[in-house]
Amino acid sequence: MTPETLAPAKVAAPRPSHQKRRARAAETRAGYGFLTPWLIGFFLLTVGPMAASLYLSFTDYDLFGAPEFIGLENYQNLFDDPRFRQSVVVTVTYVVIGTPIKLAASLAVAMLLNAKRKGLGFYRSAFYAPSLIAASVSVAIVWKAMFIDDGIVDQVLSLFGIRLGGWVGNPDMTMPMFVLLAVWAFGAPMVIFLAGLKQVPQELYEAAEMDGAGKTRKFINITLPMLSPVIFFNLLMETIGAFQIFGSAFIISGGTGGPAGSTLFYTLYLYIRGFTDFKMGYASAMAWLLVIVVGIITVIFFRTSRSWVHYAGDSK
């Protein structure tokens, strides 16, 4: 910085000059100008439809005629609907079982890939690859083919004397199948864990080693606390993501949530209500209930996080 630029600041003391304010206003305008494409998209494609769905959730709307205002009836009906309850049970089971397993798996792989080895770049890409395609239609189809009667999974398990038959047709086995699919796509949280691991100062480990700490102790007392913001972030993201599972369930069950309702995930039931049964008002009510519940869960996560998440920058 040159003395020239410093000088006016000294003179202009607390209030910025008229000119400067004008310059700043121009900058603000330019800023919004550059934001416009995004803002247009945000209002047209996100806020607008959300407002519409909020309105529709208070109506009886079958897509063909005009929506008819019915107040809270959709929301009340939700609680008398056995399929709604089933979809909640299926989804919560998936979130509660799937998310921790996925996080544990991605952390484990991230720690392996954090070691100093030859060809690490290759391994990192290789392990990330499944995540790029896991949400695709083709993987859901492959998954179904793998877990069907006499599919590859059935055949391999049979070699070990485990005879389960096809998982796809067995209501008790569909959930493990979906959890496996989620865990297989561990790439995104893994990369974030890996970045977090890189930032843990080596001195901490060295100091701990001097004090005679073993591997487990270092993991529990250094790695986990230092990683806690990253764990928190991944936990939040993966939980919200797990509530939204749709594509794979839609493809594997052929859009029905079967067999016997065992894959009737929340969003899938929402879709069935809206687009198969033409109860768009009901579906909108479901969507808003989901937004509210996920919002509440997020708030709870943030509240409890104060007691277990350690931010390196905070002076706590």
Partner 1 sequence: MTRRTIRFAAVGAALALGLTACGGGGDEGDDGATGGGGTVDPDEEITLTVTWWGNDDRADRYNQAIELFNEEYPNITINPNFSAWPDYWTARATEAAGSALPDVMQMDLAYISQFGSRGQLLDLDPYIGGELDVSGMPESLLAAGQLEAGTVGIPQSTNTLALFYNPAVVTQLGIEPPANDLTWDDYDAWITQAAEAGAGLDPVLYGSGDYTGVFWLFIQHLVQEGNEVFTADGEIAFTEDDMKEWLNRTTDLRADGSLFPTERTVQLAPLGGFTVNEVASEFSWDNFLAGYLADSGAESIEMLPMPLGSSGERGMFQKPSMLLSAGSNTEHPEAAAAFIDFITNDPAVGAIFGTSRGVPATESARSELSAEGTDAQVIAYEESVADDITESVPTLPEGFGSIEATWLRLAEELGYGQITVDEFVEQWFAEAESALA
Q: How far is the CB of 64 from partner 1 (least distance, A)?
A: 4
Q: How far is the CB of 218 from partner 1 (least distance, A)?
A: 21
Give the per-residue contact string, 184-223, with partner 1 (x = CB under 8 A; - = no): ------------x---------------------------
* 62: its two tokens: 């079958």
Which is closer to partner 1, CB of 175 or CB of 213? 175
* 170: its two tokens: 């067995």
φ, ψ dihedrals at 164, nearest 5°: -110, -15
Q: How far is the CB of 80 from partner 1 (least distance, A)?
A: 9
Residue 41 binds partner 1 (CB under 8 A): no
Integer Cα distance of 162 and 95 in angstroms: 27
Number of residues located near partner 1, criterion CB under 8 A: 65
Which is closer to partner 1, CB of 127 or CB of 265? 265
Length of the chain: 316
Q: How far is the CB of 132 from partner 1 (least distance, A)?
A: 19
Figure out which of the listed residues 1, 11, 66, 210 binds partner 1, where binding follows CB under 8 A. Answer: 66
Single-letter residue type at 69? F
Residue 308 binds partner 1 (CB under 8 A): no
Residue 169 binds partner 1 (CB under 8 A): yes
DSSP assignments along 246-282, one per residue: -HHHHHHTTTS--STTTT--HHHHHHIIIIIS--HHH
Q: How far is the CB of 51 from partner 1 (least distance, A)?
A: 10
- Alpha helix ranges (H) inside the chain: 3-11, 18-41, 48-56, 73-78, 82-114, 120-133, 137-146, 152-159, 174-184, 187-199, 202-210, 215-218, 224-243, 247-252, 266-271, 280-308
Span of 31-39, 109-117, 179-187, 273-281 interacting with partner 1 by CB under 8 A = 273-281
DSSP state letter for 65: S
Which is closer to partner 1, CB of 61 or CB of 186? 61
Residue 260 binds partner 1 (CB under 8 A): yes
Taking each helix axis as running N to C, give the angle between helix 137-146 and helix 174-184, from 0 to 180 degrees, rounded to the nearest 10: 130
Integer Cα distance of 147 and 251 in angstroms: 14
Where in 95-154 is the site for partner 1 (CB under 8 A)? 148-149
Secondary structure (3-state) at 68: strand
Residues that bind partner 1 (CB under 8 A): 45-46, 49-50, 52-53, 56, 61-67, 77, 82, 148-149, 165-166, 168-171, 196, 229-230, 232-233, 236-237, 240-241, 243-244, 246, 254-256, 258-261, 267, 270, 274-278, 280, 283-284, 286-288, 290-291, 294-295, 298, 302, 309, 311, 313
